[in-house]
Structure 1
């Protein structure tokens, strides 16, 4: 009898585990459930990472460490939402001081002449319950071109530590640096630069 009970318990545990693993993962609330209003970027929980092909051998990554953003969110009519971003290009960081200095000179960003890059949204199109395409004007290296961010809403809720209402997003985009006059070493050094962005925005009280 004891052996039978042990076998039955083991079988029940196996079935329960299998059922648990078959349950769909929880999904974030749909965008329309997010509180509308003006949001400020939480700079301590935000990243802008870029990657570019290095002669075809590898993808070289860097980041910008000083930037700010403002978001006005209209959850009911997302097409009315607005996003503005300002990036201090002097904050480019590859963890290689020599390379950082080269990226800041006229071969690339030319930060003495063009110290900042800006993005201002011009169109927001919802593409799914938690996704949207945000198109805007990117001004970089003295030139302005349209760029589209592919955005995902990760979560919106009061922060468990601060109780401040927070909306968290991830985004990706690809820009052709040669369109902004940054042609050094192209195409051996990739002309397409991929941006990986993640940030938390706090609802202003």
Structure 2
């Protein structure tokens, strides 16, 4: 019995340490939010800055972890006046709450290259659970690395999508003229960090 328990502990430890650490490439990462505008069109914005890291391996998905932060002022709607409206206390209240964060609580493999990531999404002073459906596009050497040294090494490419209700994070102004449901889509390339 003791031998079996010891083996289980060793197995967990080995699984944990095999997860690679990946760092976001900010030049090839897009974080966008989409919403319905009064039933006439779908509008969107982009957060142009994001930072964070991911511990992930397809061989040990359940042991993975992600933590990301986004400066709210990196938001770009294409309309300067609208940017300031969203920064105001009516919506993000950027002077009081300058960042958005996501801290994963679980990873679950749901297909050969598909993962569900659940975690705590914090916007303003509200933290609620959100689940992202993630497609892993590719893992391995980046073909562009043959031409540019910054792309050498192992890379991970993913798309992550979730839908939230903005009113649950204290931003329900003008619902339903602007839809309560917000679709968040992240497309990212991440480079494996190699210990020195």
Aligning the two structures, in what range does the TM-score lie when normalised by the shorter sequence? 0.7 to 0.9
- 1:144 correspondence with 2:127: yes
Distance in 2 of aligned mates of 1:49 and 1:128: 25
SS in structure 1 at match of 2:62: helix
Structure 2 counterpart of 1:191, from 163, 169, 180: 180
Pairing 1:110-129 to 2, within 5 Å after superposition: 110-129=93-112
Residue 176 of structure 1 corresponds to 165
| Aligned-partner Cα distance in 2 for 1:157–1:74 | 11
Aligned residues: 171
1:66 to 41, 49, 54: 49
| Cα offset, 1:158, TM superposition | 1.0
Segments of 4+ moved more than 4 angstroms = none
Match of 2:64 among 74, 78, 81: 81
- 1:94 maps to 2:77: yes
SS in 1 for 2:180: strand
SS for the counterpart of 2:152 is coil
> Within 5 Å, which residues of 2 pair with 1:18-37?
36-37=19-20
Measure, in 1, the Cα distance between the counterparts of 2:181 and 2:129.
Answer: 15
Comparing 65-74 with 41-50, greater Cα deviation is found at 65-74
TM-score by length of 1: 0.81
**Contiguous gaps of at least 5 residues in structure 1:** 1-34
Describe the superposition over 1:157-185 as per-residue Cα deviations: whole angstroms up to 9, x where unpaired: 11122322101001111010000011110
Q: For structure 2, which runs of at least 5 residues remain unmatched after alignment?
A: 1-17, 146-150
